[in-house]
A and B are shown apart, each in its own frame.
Chain A
Amino acid sequence: MLELLLALPFALALVVALSANASRRTVACLAGLVPLLGLGVLAFLAGDVFDGTILKTQYAWIPEAGLDFSLRMDGLAWTFALMVLGIGGLVVLYGHYYLSAKDSPRRFFTYLLLFMGAMLGMVIAGNLLLLAVFWELTSISSFLLIGFWSHRQDARQGARMALTITGMGGLALLGGVLLIGRIVGSYDLDVVLASGDLIRASHLYPWALGLVLLGIFTKSAQFPFHFWLPHAMAAPTPVSAYLHSATMVKAGVFLLARLHPALAGTDLFFYVVSGVGATTLVMGAWFAIFQHDLKGLLAYSTISHLGLITLLFGLSTEMAVVAGLFHILNHAMFKASLFMAAGIIDHETGTRDMRRLGNLRRLMPMTSALAIVASLAMAGIPLLNGFLSKEMFFAEALEIGGHGTMRWVISIAALLAGVFGIAYSLRFVHDTFFGRGPRALDVVPHEPPRWMRIPVGVLAILCLVIGIIPALTVGPLLHTMARGTLGAATPEFSLSVWHGINLPLMMSVASLVFGVLLYFGLRKLLDFHAVVTRSTGRQVFQVNLERLFSLARAFTARVANGSLQRSLFGLLLVALVLAGWPLLGNFAELIANGPGPRPLPVMGWMIWAVIVASSIGTVVVHGKRLTALIVIGGVGLAVSLMFVYLSAPDLALTQLLVEMVTIALMMMALNYLPKQSKSTRRPLRKFRDVAISIVAGGGLGALAYAMMVSPADTISNELLVRSLPEAYGRNVVNVILVDFRGFDTFGEITVFGTAALVVHALLRWARLKPDEVMPGPPVHLPIAADLTQLLFPLALTVSIYLFLRGHNAPGGGFIAGLVFAVPVLVKYVLQGARAVEATFGFDYLRGIGVGLLLAVIGGVGSWWFDVPFLTSGHLDVELPLIGLLPLASALVFDTGVYVVVFAGTLLMLSTMGTVKQRQAAEEAH
């Protein structure tokens, strides 16, 4: 049943949302079904609940997190569900008439039902985490409701403010709940409620309590988080009536009641909760007096009443809790009706400003009468429900034991709040329904449609009935509610209007008298209408939020300013820290343990000199780009020589070839870049960079040195041993490339081919402006072109030679591919791109694809023999005449490499060589 109850609002929200073509009435009816059916379910469950049974259902959702989908209904939950559904039903009815033709009822009721569902879920959750989940859902759905009139700035702002504050509270609550879970070891409500002593004894208790209270205070608009509530009044009135009487703000005090057995009973709880409650109570009431907006006044009044309830729970005596629960019920009734009445007034007069209203009892007597009844209930006038709970409150305030000062403070606060409450209620009644007015209205107000008035009437009558015969009406309900909250500790109490003449009654009388005096006295003293109250809370919030936004903007823009230099500098700095940290102070020991350095023949030092000199030379001349390129060519050559010298011919070959192609690419690019670097006038920056470069270089050199002099233990011995017998190659480097680590090469050619694609993609459709266009027609270099005629076929032959020999001597697919590509590059340079493209006619793009597929085929072939990808096979083919032809399957793979490298290189070169140039004339467009 509980699942059904909870599913109702969500299911119908979905139905409403999807009923695109339904009439307004249908939509409202659909929405109205929820409270109707829901109340039916409640009625069905009432018997058990009133008997004190706790109804439960439980489904595992995320047992790992302790988050079960468990629902639980006791008296407290039942009563709250009753409020949520009952007042919800009235609000649906009211809202149907309230919404104007421009407002989409579909959207409105969808949000409303979502909210109703969230609220219901929160109330009947049987797992604290689940409760927190629904708690946040109420924040989100109320955000949508408050911002319903999203074209209005105050609505947007109010909605965001509410979301921010209550969202923050929700996160805090989540933290608190998690801490409770940590203490108790379960989130199950029954377990938690039974573990009050354990919780209170835990060292985490203050944190858990603080976080939970933060959630409660924000939700229930307690000082200092109260300010979001008045701004939420930008919502349509049905929303205010619903959220700020029976539901949203009550979620906080609901939780206070719910967790009362688990959290209450310590001094910390007492001081914080009652202190905050008392402050809110008085402050809210005081500010309510000075509101000009009907809903504003009601909002501050709500704050004040929530303060009262909080205060009662803070007092923590059983009777105080009962009083608090009672006031929750009462407040829901009179406040909902008052909001709806205010909405009617707004609806009929077009304003909610009390300075323009007045004397409405003549124009809309019925509404006025109902509103006056509700206001009197709010003021706590006898024979109305508000009086009863207020009396209980006064009584409890006077009976605080053990906390001497607090007793006085709270009693005075209670009295003050009573006085203020009378004053603002009086102002509400007087300024709206009596006196002169209304002024400057565009319409002549009259009674609203009957069905709009009915909800107000129902609630007002309830206020009266409860106020007169409480024991018969609300008594059992309150009892059930209290039992749900307090369990075994529920006190015996009787509800009656007359307790005899006692101190609480005196306080009521006093507050009535002083309240009337205060209102009229204030009217005499100052012009109410000129008083402008500013919500300091809002001010502070707004200012801080703006500050947060601008701080975030400024900070983010300042830190992530898009500067590449900064990014790189950060990278370097972290690198220095991470790599330098372990070495600091340990370097001497590090290099002491190895076999020690070996001497290098003079030859090696000469090559070293070329590396060092041209490397530094590059830095010195880097501003002049052509020069820098030539000089860096020296570095490349010398590094290659170093490779040769140190037993790495394959490396040297590759390095040299890549060097040539790189220089060609850079020269092509240089045509579209400035010839010189602009000099920067930032000596400090240069100094810093020089310093960090030296540190980085020195550090890396030191690391390299330490590594080289420490003993090595590598798997390479095994590679050497197994290369020839098992991989059929003498050039172990090539064997590694195509066999042992063929998968690396596989990835590498993918990178290579893809790089060519990227170059192609970047330049194909682009039009670039050369930095400088040389005058005259293209230069022909016939002699050079002619001389390379013989070079080309020979280079091709060499390429094939290097390719076939690669497995046993320096060479291989990559080197051979480049050796093929480079003479074509020379052709491009000497004959011009157009001429080459016209005759050469290879589709380089497809070449890359074909090469990659070949490599895959070379690797997948081994699957035929049921061995993994890239396993090399070996086959000796005996051919007539020719003799033995050794074939390694790695050859197919290497062919793929060859083709990709050739095609990729040429795709890059030809793309860069055939860039479409943009003329200065086009530039102007």
Chain B
Amino acid sequence: MITIAIIVGMHLVGIAMLLSLWRLLRGPTAPDRILALDTLYVSSIAQLILFGMLMNTEIYFEAALVIAMLGFVGTVVLSKYVIRRDIVE
């Protein structure tokens, strides 16, 4: 049962990713796309954790940790660009 739940979960998260992809491609504004990318990052963490559960391994922990810790860097940089164009003033 739990395996099924994991697989179902992975598909749900996968759909979430595809939805984010849609927003990423459609926009219309830059912040929309940034948001979509950010969401894609967060969904990826979920995906990694689920995958780790499915494989019964901890090997994907580091990847998930790094995405969680630094996934927002892209968001920070892109947003700062929209705000000021010069991201490092």
Contacts and interface: CB of A to CB of B under 8 A. Distances in A.
B36 to A, nearest CB: 8
B65 to A, nearest CB: 7
Contact of A653 (B33, B37, B66): B66
Nearest to A605: B14
Contacts of B37: 630, 633-634, 637
Interface in B11-30: 11, 14-15, 17-18, 21, 24-25, 27, 30
Contacts of A810: 59, 62-63
A794 B40 contact: no
Contacts of B41: 637
A147 B34 CA distance: 72
Contact of B62 (A609, A784, A802): A802
B44 A637 contact: yes
B70 A660 contact: yes
Contacts of A791: 69
A626 B25 contact: no
Nearest to A806: B62
Most buried by B among A614, A770, A914: A614
Contact of B78 (A609, A629, A779): A629
B11 A809 contact: no
A627 B81 CA distance: 12
Contacts of B89: 778-779, 832-833
Contact of B88 (A629, A774, A811, A828): A828
A609 B21 contact: yes
Nearest to B89: A778
Given A664-B87, A778-B84, A614 B21 contact: yes
A833 B37 CA distance: 26
Contacts of B1: none
A618 B59 CA distance: 32
Contacts of B17: 606-607, 610
Contacts, number: 164
Interface in A615-640: 617, 626-627, 629-631, 633-634, 637, 640
Interface in B48-81: 48, 51, 59-60, 62-63, 65-67, 69-71, 73-74, 76-78, 80-81
A819 B87 contact: no
Interface string A781-817: 1001000000100110010001001000111000100
A629 B70 CA distance: 18
A212 interface: no
A45 interface: no
Nearest to B78: A630
B70 A652 contact: no
Contact of B85 (A630, A671, A811): A671
A627 B27 contact: yes
B32 to A, nearest CB: 9
A334 to B, nearest CB: 87
A700 interface: no
B81 A603 contact: no
Nearest to A670: B81
B82 interface: yes
Given A630-B78, A828-B88, A795 B70 contact: yes
A830 interface: yes
A667 B27 contact: no
Given A626-B82, A822-B70, A617 B62 contact: no
A822 B78 contact: no
A832 B89 CA distance: 5
A629 B59 CA distance: 30
A833 B71 CA distance: 21
Contact of A631 (B33, B71, B73, B88): B33
A664 B88 CA distance: 10
Most buried by B among A602, A634, A774: A634
Given A606-B17, A631-B25, A826-B73, A832 B63 contact: no
Contacts of B34: 630
B62 A653 contact: yes
A610 B73 CA distance: 20
Interface string A817-835: 0010011011011101100
B78 A645 contact: no
Contacts of B84: 774, 778-779
Contact of A609 (B10, B18, B66): B18
Contacts of B60: 644, 649
B23 to A, nearest CB: 10
Contacts of B82: 626
A634 B21 contact: yes
Given A602-B14, A614-B24, A819 B88 contact: no
Contacts of A630: 24, 30, 33-34, 36-37, 78
A708 interface: no
Contacts of B15: 606
Contacts of A670: 81, 85
A761 to B, nearest CB: 19
B69 A798 contact: yes
Contacts of A196: none
A603 B43 CA distance: 13
Most buried by A among B48, B69, B81: B81
Contact of A819 (B11, B24, B66): B66
A342 interface: no
A577 B69 CA distance: 46
A832 B24 contact: no
Most buried by B among A630, A656, A832, A914: A630
A912 interface: yes
Given A633-B37, A657-B66, A644 B51 contact: yes
Given A602-B14, A610-B21, A631-B33, A779 B51 contact: no
Contacts of B11: 602-603
A796 to B, nearest CB: 11
A649 B76 contact: no
Nearest to B34: A630
A833 B44 CA distance: 31
Contact of A671 (B27, B63, B87): B87
A627 B82 CA distance: 11
A866 B89 CA distance: 53
Nearest to B32: A630
B4 interface: no
Contacts of B88: 668, 828-829, 832-833, 909, 912-914
Contacts of A626: 30, 78, 81-82
A614 B33 CA distance: 12
B83 interface: yes
Given A606-B18, A629-B78, A634 B73 contact: no
B24 to A, nearest CB: 5
Contacts of B78: 626, 629-630, 633, 663, 667
25 contacts: A606-B15, A613-B21, A627-B27, A630-B78, A631-B33, A633-B74, A634-B36, A637-B40, A653-B63, A656-B63, A657-B70, A660-B70, A663-B74, A670-B81, A671-B87, A772-B85, A774-B86, A779-B84, A798-B66, A798-B69, A809-B59, A815-B66, A830-B76, A832-B88, A833-B89
Given A603-B11, A641-B47, A641-B48, 5 more contacts: A627-B27, A630-B36, A631-B25, A667-B87, A671-B86
Interface of A: 602-603, 606-607, 609-610, 613-614, 617, 626-627, 629-631, 633-634, 637, 640-641, 644-645, 649, 652-653, 656-657, 659-660, 663-664, 667-668, 670-671, 770-774, 778-779, 781, 784, 791, 794-795, 798, 802, 805, 809-811, 815, 819, 822-823, 825-826, 828-830, 832-833, 909, 912-914
The 4 closest A-B pairs by CB, nearest first: A913-B88, A606-B14, A778-B89, A630-B33
Interface of B: 10-11, 14-15, 17-18, 21, 24-25, 27, 30, 33-34, 36-37, 40-41, 44, 47-48, 51, 59-60, 62-63, 65-67, 69-71, 73-74, 76-78, 80-89
